[in-house]
Amino acid sequence: MSKRGCGSRVNNGLYLSVATSEFGRPVEHFLLDPPKPYVGKPFRTPIIIAGKKVNHIMIYVGKEFYPFVSDYMEESRCQGISRRIPKSFPFERLTPFESRMFFVHERAIPLFGHDTGRECPRKINHSHKPGDTCVFDLWHLSALERIKDKHEVSIIDEDHAGIQTPSVKYSVNLPRMPPVNLDKKTIYKYQTGIFAAFWVGHLEYVNKQKKIPESLKRRVKNTEFDIRALEE
């Protein structure tokens, strides 16, 4: 079984999934650039946001599991995205492939001066002020802080660092400013923001016998959702 930053999947757990491969696009495509500030408290259960035509869903990615946005996105690149929802969750209010799944993280918008020396891949001329920072810079800025076991940083050479999380390994560029000094243990301030928007895909039910409860099957039948039973 592949390891996830948030631990293994729960038996008899219901998951809302995104299938990025169905769109044939890399995860970068779904990043919001610049990330949008989010004002509100952290929440555990995903929130449904009423829309004009279809509703959307907001998901909070906890920094205790994924210290940086890049940690979450790099795991998603390898393992896809699925989010556990309570069985009582009103998924009927969502429309597969039309409802969007917005992701919130507490380190989405850097509140400190920075220069990664990288051009925005979308050629946006960012001011780099809060509200207009480049989402792609978050990868390189994550080299500034080491978080034990969750986000280990190792300097490769004067331009690159390697990041190791419980599930993935990836490399980033060392920012020009602020300079990386891991011994100093500086804590950089960020603002909470929405950093990605995927489309709601299908439902997954984890069960060792690959059995879906009848009541759940009935509920799904009345929607456009597809539900897949998985062992884990």
DSSP state letter for 182: G
The arrangement of strands across the sheet holding 100-110 comes to 31-37, 190-199, 100-110, 56-60, 47-49
Select 34 or 46, whichever has its Cβ closest to Zn ion.
34
The number of residues that bind Zn ion (CB under 5 A) is 4
> In the complex, what is the shortest distance from the CB of residue 123 to Zn ion, in angstroms, rounded to a whole number?
8
Separation of alpha carbons 46 and 84, rounded Å: 9
Separation of alpha carbons 53 and 47, rounded Å: 17
Stretch binding Zn ion (CB under 5 A), from 10-18, 29-37, 177-185, 188-196: 29-37
Select 124 or 147, whichever has its Cβ closest to Zn ion.
124
**For residue 94, which of 232, 219, 229 has the smallest C-alpha distance?**
219
Dihedral of CA 176/179/185/186: which sign?
negative
Helical residues (DSSP H) of the chain, grouped into ranges: 69-79, 137-141, 214-221
Residue 119 has φ and ψ, to the nearest 5°, of -80, 150
Select 33 or 74, whichever has its Cβ closest to Zn ion.
33
> In the complex, what is the shortest distance from the CB of residue 120 to Zn ion, in angstroms, rounded to a whole number?
3
> In the complex, what is the shortest distance from the CB of residue 39 to Zn ion, in angstroms, rounded to a whole number?
22
Select 123 or 148, whichever has its Cβ closest to Zn ion.
123
Q: Give, as ranges, the residues between 104 and 163 that touch Zn ion (CB under 5 A).
A: 120, 124, 134
Select 6 or 120, whichever has its Cβ closest to Zn ion.
120
Separation of alpha carbons 161 and 152, rounded Å: 10
Select 124 or 229, whichever has its Cβ closest to Zn ion.
124
Query: Which residue in 33, 74, 75, 106 binds Zn ion (CB under 5 A)?
Result: 33
Stretch binding Zn ion (CB under 5 A), from 28-36, 71-79, 80-88, 220-228: 28-36
Contact in structure between 128 and 134 (CB atoms under 8 Å): yes
Contact between 32 and Zn ion by CB under 5 A: the answer reads no
Pairing of strands 56-60, 100-110: parallel
> In the complex, what is the shortest distance from the CB of residue 30 to Zn ion, in angstroms, rounded to a whole number?
14
> In the complex, what is the shortest distance from the CB of residue 6 to Zn ion, in angstroms, rounded to a whole number?
27
Binding site for Zn ion (CB under 5 A): 33, 120, 124, 134
